Structure 1
Amino acid sequence: MEIGVDTFVETTPDVHTGKTISHAERLRQVVEEIALADQVGLDIFGVGEHHRKEFGDSASVVVLAAGAAVTKKIRLTSSVTVLSAADPVRVFQEFATLDGISNGRAEIIVGRGSMVDAFPLFGYNLNDYEELFEEKLELFLKLRESEKVSWKGGHRPAFTNLGIYPRPVQTPLPVWIGSGGNPESAIRAGVLGLPLVLAIIGGSPVQFAPIVKLYKEAATRAGHDASKLPVAVHSLGFVAESTSLAVDRFFPPTQASMNMFGKERGWGHYSRAQFDASRSLEGALYVGDPETVANKIVHMSKHLGFSRFFLHLPVGTMPHDEVMKAIELLGTEVAPRVREQIAKLEAK
């Protein structure tokens, strides 16, 4: 079981002070968080991609490269790269560069993005949402397979027998498919034989079990060994020395963030009752002391069969020292508990 953190580099107003941290300061904080995650033995750190003022992660690969320079072991990934609105050649070059700087620790999670801010910014039509992703993913996978590539498609200029450099240290560069639970996305990942990351931020995670089943079945039909295709989960949460402290610290910014984005998406008011239900054993939030969070990761892994878990934090803006403490606890107390419990289960 691999345990890690991912972040969207949020820069929303602090719910207690009303102040908004600058993008520059938050970016520097994230590099410190990556360094700490490496020091406390976490396996992976991810940085998302958005193109709006509430987030500072529009150039995630640059943040990851800064993290690579101050770490030794931790793997570094996007979470996710909106490939539909990007040039696959440039994205491949960037992540191959990251792989070189980190000496083979780079990964990429590609997806269509739950927010559509990148599409108008880079001149893409949302009517081409599905087609863009499928075509660009096809090209991206060709780039990692061969040093020289020829390409002709509908959304990017053609080229013939051109070399793509630098080449990554890893062969092939690890590519995961990110999904919010869309069955078609899971099936696509299975057919391609690519690992799957499920973003589970609401409802009951157990409801995603049929999606994992679809993924594995599609992989088997396509001739892949489904047992060798890992599944990861990304969920929101927070760790503190006590569950009451974790709840007190995490609920206010989470509520503010959920209500802000809820207005855009037509969600209802996010209440304390919803929050408490979500942090129950069967809910989607992983909030509590190290034992509580560890037990929940193990519990959900039994239902979903995932072998990698991303704790997304913070949600909204939280004090940097509290985020650093949560990362420390995740690495030094949660992860060892999870690994010990998983090892016992596997030994039976």
Structure 2
Amino acid sequence: MPYATVVEPIRSCAIKTPGMAESADAKNPGMTLANARLRLLVLASTLTLGACSVLVERATDRMSDNLSNAILNQNDPETVRDGAPAYLLLMDSLVEGNPESVGTLSGAANLYAAYGSVFVDDDARAKRLTQRSFDYGSRAICVQHEPACGWSELSFDEFDAALTKVGERDIEALYAYSVSWLAFTRAHTDDWEVLADLPKVEAVLNRLYELDQDFDGGNIDLYLGILNSIRPPALGGNPEVGRQYFERAIELTGGRDLSVKVEFARTYARLVYDRELHDRLLGEVLAADPDVPGLTLFNVLAQRQAEILLASADDYF
């Protein structure tokens, strides 16, 4: 399926950074922002380390593609988890060597978001890693779109207006910024100042949707579905709009990405207390074959989460 790819040739370096991975956190079913579709494809994308010639660049691209496929088709998430930290250090070194590369910064933001949200159980460590992710994501959009350097100081209305100045050429950096912000928020659910910025996160996703609603094969629909479903209407949520986004994400992925149905059940169905929909979605996840090229890793994680959610359904409903 189509994953976002950022290619940023800067002098002699080119960093190729396709999308992100997913997982889910049953310990906190009400706040699953960055769990959804934080693509582990980025782990492999960091291997495109740059080239001084076209031939070397093509060779590293092939190596990156091969490793990407190996990761995405891995049915043992622990293997991926244990191998990922080396690439965190690798991305740090690449940023040090090329701090103005939007591609490098976006790749670092994506990788730290994925690892910090999916594979780290310690809260303090998750906060540190996702803080670094958000720092990289903020730097990426700042380098790509200079006015974004001052976005953190803006009110919501000012921020929302500023987003209209972002165009299609900025979409990859804006996407990395949004995903890193989602991961950061997910790790800081105990910080009300962070949660107060959720409307800004949603505004970024809405702008991405305006620029290209099919970007990254349904990820934006999924994120918007979650954001509209994790809050009741009195707190700014719109569950029925969220349901529409979830249904479109299922349509775009052909129902093969099981994480979409898990998030649909976890956020929307639980919010509106629709036990029938909840159990049906999770039953479909468990009955499905997880071995789908490019989605096996995501689907194994989704099935694990579906089992946990179903086991807790009697207590919840």
> TM-score surpassing 0.5?
no
Structure with greater helix percent: 2
